[in-house]
Structure 1
Amino acid sequence: MKTRDESLFAAADDGVESVSEFTRRVKTLLERGLRPGWVRGEVSNLRAQASGHVYFCLKDAGAAMNAVLFRADAARQTVKLRDGLQIVVYGEVSVYEARGQYQFIVRAVIEDGEGRLRREFEALKQRLATEGLFDPAKKRPLPEMPATIGFITSPTGAAVQDFLRILKRRGWRGRVVVLPAKVQGDGAAAEMIAMLELAQKHGLFDLLVIGRGGGSLEDLWAFNEEPLVRAVAASTVPIVSAVGHEIDFSLCDFAADVRAETPSAAAELISSHFVAAAQRALGASEAMLSAGEAALERAGARLDHARSRLRLLSPTAQIEQGYLRLDDFANRLAAALRENVDGCRQRLREARSLLVQRSPELRVQIESHRLLALWKRLQAVSPTSVLQRGFVIMRDEQGRPVPRKGGVSAGQKLVAEFGDGQLPVRAE
């Protein structure tokens, strides 16, 4: 008798499938149950194999799936795939049985949204350029000092605020009139054309600006619509196109007389001549003030010089100069007299000194002093003086000095003479 577990296993064993069988059944259900269709997504993990097949992941914000473009289908495509490209693909679902993964077999690829707009942009640009609509020879120079500027834009957008802020900061003097129009979406181009025609009709404006802030190609598309581009090119008033950011280009940029990278750049461009003129005026004012001060200083110096000369040439000044010369002569005469008297006194002193030196009494005194000095020197070298300084003179019995030791024999009697007396001695 079978147990309960054995009965269950025997029943289950009758319906067990292998992995390959189950995967094949899933593949059949997916491929038959899902019809071919269009899928939109972003390309990532793009891999082109040497075989010619192209593998990539198609994803959006919520999901991702593997996709493959086989060699024959890849050769027919005009879209160059790259990571990050938004595309719309046509194909069908398949299952790769070896890995149990489903993938989308792509048969056709087109660019999504902006890609189509970009192709339209380039095609229209080429056609209008061929017509000569963008010819540089048709561009007009902008007025250097426009008094009234019309700005065709959205009155609530940031572009007009940036534009006005730059003009105010740079001290521009003039009037700006905002010509309100939609700058995005249906009817935007028509409204801008109407404002452009209105501005030309009344003849109030020296310069027109048309533009808006940055955005995607779709956001800026109104500025690429052919009627607006032609209206900008045909304008009788010089136009500056200021659409988007630095990297954004519109066909109005090519049709206008001047393109500014941004509305702020347009404001700086328009006010540049005014700022330069203001700086030149300020420089001229400072130079004029400096020149006036220099001229005034030179005139003052000349006036002081004239006053000085007038004082010198006046009768009072002449009399004062006479007094000064008289005092100078008196001082010089007194100095000369003092110098002459001092010279006479000096010569008298010298004569007296010479007379004293040559008198007989002085000569007797000098000779006496000289003899006394010689006597003192003689006494200093006398034998008695030498003995008084501690020396001894050896004499023999006859009283003769013995100058050398070799002249003395043993037992010879000698006499040693000291400063205070004599002493007999015998040689050993």
Structure 2
Amino acid sequence: MLNPNQDLLIPPAQEIESVSEFNQRVKYLLEREIGGAWVRGEISNLRHQSSGHIYFSLKDAGGQVSAVLFRNDAVKQDVEIEDGMRVVVFGQASVYEPRGNYQLIVRLVVMDGLGRLQQQFERLKARLAEEGLFDDESKLSIPEFPRTIGVVTSPQGAAVQDFIRILKRREWVGYLLVLPTKVQGEGAAAEIAETIDYAQKLSGLELLVVCRGGGSVEDLWSFNEELVARAIHRSAIPVISAVGHEIDFTLSDFVADLRAETPSTAAEIISSRYLELVKRFEVLSVNLPYWVREGLDTRSSALEQLNHRLQVHSPFSRVESAQQRLDDLAGRLCSLMDKGFFERHHQLSSRMLSILKLDPFNKILNFKEKIHMAGHLLDTGMNSEFADKRNRLFRAESILRSLSPKSVLNRGFAIVRDEVGRPITSKESIQSGDKVTAEFKDGEVPLLGE
């Protein structure tokens, strides 16, 4: 039953709003009082409609709001939104009257924080790559033994101290010029680019190292600026980029002639060839005296052998020997003539015969004859041994053939085998109905036991 007093609480009919009128009033108030707003949140419940409109929710730890990005605004966005993406949007608060739900009509979507920086990085990287700034053809060769190096960095940073410490430890020898510049913060990118351009005017620089220590993405961002990338690309001096840690990549790494993971790594790369050369020099210094002595000894021994052979085979030595022999023979001839011509003639004939017996050519002929006889005896012995071995082989082959089962089959016998191929030696082994096989010299015949 209605309380009569309730009629006093109900306003006149013309003041009562329909649902549609109420939603319209709420919509008007939201759009007028709140209007446009920037909202940060995470995208969820993303839906792409065939009409081109995009519906999603923006949420954080404390709540969520429905949002819509109409087709005309969606095609203007640089960001391809996905579920789970953190974004900052600009839009107007409104009400979807058929359902009475309030929503955010989004006009602009940008990546939030690091996501926005990463998007800028990828966009600039793609553009510079398309222009050819990263092409291998445009990169310069790093000198193997640079003697004068320019380091573009902050002189107060730990990076340059590590760089110098590594070079000293590896005993690198050369000139190092620190070109001071800001490496982070406002204006750092322009200052880095100006310092690289300034280095081009210095005579004698063989290598530039652009470096700084590790840090956040924001700290390293100066090395992602287009100014720095183009300054490195137009440098006529080879450039090594050594920015951050191993996991950090900047645009200066891509455009530089060589990337080093850290400033310390850059110092190791620069000094590696020098260190290798020092080690080789040390090895040579230790071994060179030994090699020289060994070479001199070898050459001295060879020289002595050659000198001896020269003396033995020298025409002058032969002439001197012949002259000495001639003098001796002349003296002996005179002595023989003094004692009597005939006696000396007889002695001379006797000595000539002795000389003929000692002639090397006669000895050579004797040796040849002995060798010929020995060869004949060797051939005869080998032929006899070969014939004996061959006869023994033929006899063994004949015995083997006579013992072969095939030989038995050739004489009219047969071999009976069971189903698994084993020979049967007794009739007691065959039962009625057993399947056996009889092997003859020209094949096998299946049999059935009875």
TM band (smaller chain): 0.5 to 0.7
| Residues 128 and 134, structure 2, Cα contact 8 Å, conserved in 1 | no
**1:395 alignment counterpart:** none
Superposed displacement of residue 185, structure 1: 3.6
**1:118 alignment counterpart:** 121
Task: State how far apart, in whole Å, the 2-side matches of 1:109 and 1:230 are.
Answer: 30
Asked whether 1:94 is paired with 2:94, we answer: yes
Superposed displacement of residue 186, structure 1: 3.7
- Match of 1:140, SS state, is coil
Instruction: Classify 1:67/1:243 alpha carbon distance in 2 versus 1 (closer, same or farther; 3 Å).
Output: same
Task: State how far apart, in whole Å, the 1-side matches of 2:248 and 2:129 are.
Answer: 18
Instruction: Classify 1:128/1:74 alpha carbon distance in 2 versus 1 (closer, same or farther; 3 Å).
Output: closer
What TM-score do the two structures reach when normalised by structure 1? 0.52
Asked whether 1:264 is paired with 2:267, we answer: no
Instruction: Classify 1:71/1:256 alpha carbon distance in 2 versus 1 (closer, same or farther; 3 Å).
Output: closer
**2:239 alignment counterpart:** 239
Residue-by-residue CA offset, 1:396-419 (whole Å, 9 max, x unaligned)? xxxxxxxxxxxxxxxxxxxxxxxx
**2:43 alignment counterpart:** 44
- Match of 1:163, SS state, is helix
**2:401 alignment counterpart:** none
What TM-score do the two structures reach when normalised by structure 2? 0.50
Task: State how far apart, in whole Å, the 2-side matches of 1:29 and 1:171 are.
Answer: 76
**1:104 alignment counterpart:** 104
Instruction: Classify 1:187/1:70 alpha carbon distance in 2 versus 1 (closer, same or farther; 3 Å).
Output: closer
Q: Which moved more, 1:267-276 or 1:170-179?
A: 170-179
| Residues 40 and 89, structure 1, Cα contact 8 Å, conserved in 2 | yes
- Match of 2:235, SS state, is coil
Superposed displacement of residue 20, structure 1: 6.0
Q: Superposed, which structure 2 residues align to 1:214-363 within 5 Å? A: 214=214, 219-284=219-284
| Residues 94 and 104, structure 1, Cα contact 8 Å, conserved in 2 | yes
Superposed displacement of residue 209, structure 1: 0.4
Q: Superposed, which structure 2 residues align to 1:160-239 within 5 Å? A: 160-214=160-214, 219-239=219-239
Superposed displacement of residue 152, structure 1: 0.5
Task: State how far apart, in whole Å, the 2-side matches of 1:277 and 1:46 are.
Answer: 64
Task: State how far apart, in whole Å, the 1-side matches of 2:62 and 2:263 are.
Answer: 38
| Residues 46 and 82, structure 1, Cα contact 8 Å, conserved in 2 | no
Residue-by-residue CA offset, 1:325-354 (whole Å, 9 max, x unaligned)? xxxxxxxxxxxxxxxxxxxxxxxxxxxxxx
In the alignment, structure 2 segments of 5+ residues that lack a partner are 295-450
| Residues 38 and 88, structure 2, Cα contact 8 Å, conserved in 1 | yes
| Residues 95 and 102, structure 2, Cα contact 8 Å, conserved in 1 | yes
| Residues 215 and 244, structure 2, Cα contact 8 Å, conserved in 1 | yes
Task: State how far apart, in whole Å, the 2-side matches of 1:185 and 1:128 are.
Answer: 27
**1:358 alignment counterpart:** none
In the alignment, structure 1 segments of 5+ residues that lack a partner are 1-5, 296-428
**1:157 alignment counterpart:** 157
- Match of 1:201, SS state, is coil
Amino acid at match of 2:47: A
| Residues 44 and 83, structure 1, Cα contact 8 Å, conserved in 2 | yes
Task: State how far apart, in whole Å, the 1-side matches of 2:236 and 2:276 are.
Answer: 27
| Residues 240 and 256, structure 1, Cα contact 8 Å, conserved in 2 | yes
Amino acid at match of 1:212: R
- Match of 1:270, SS state, is helix
| Residues 155 and 178, structure 2, Cα contact 8 Å, conserved in 1 | yes
| Residues 40 and 86, structure 1, Cα contact 8 Å, conserved in 2 | no
Instruction: Classify 1:110/1:273 alpha carbon distance in 2 versus 1 (closer, same or farther; 3 Å).
Output: same
Identity, % of aligned pairs?
48
**1:29 alignment counterpart:** 29
Instruction: Classify 1:60/1:216 alpha carbon distance in 2 versus 1 (closer, same or farther; 3 Å).
Output: farther
Task: State how far apart, in whole Å, the 2-side matches of 1:139 and 1:156 are.
Answer: 30
Rg (Cα) greater in structure: 1
Superposed displacement of residue 179, structure 1: 1.4
Aligned-residue RMSD, C-alpha: 4.4
Amino acid at match of 2:184: Q
**2:136 alignment counterpart:** 136
Superposed displacement of residue 156, structure 1: 2.6
Task: State how far apart, in whole Å, the 1-side matches of 2:60 and 2:172 are.
Answer: 49
| Residues 125 and 251, structure 1, Cα contact 8 Å, conserved in 2 | no
Task: State how far apart, in whole Å, the 1-side matches of 2:159 and 2:108 are.
Answer: 41
| Residues 43 and 81, structure 1, Cα contact 8 Å, conserved in 2 | no
Task: State how far apart, in whole Å, the 2-side matches of 1:188 and 1:114 are.
Answer: 17
Instruction: Classify 1:76/1:100 alpha carbon distance in 2 versus 1 (closer, same or farther; 3 Å).
Output: same
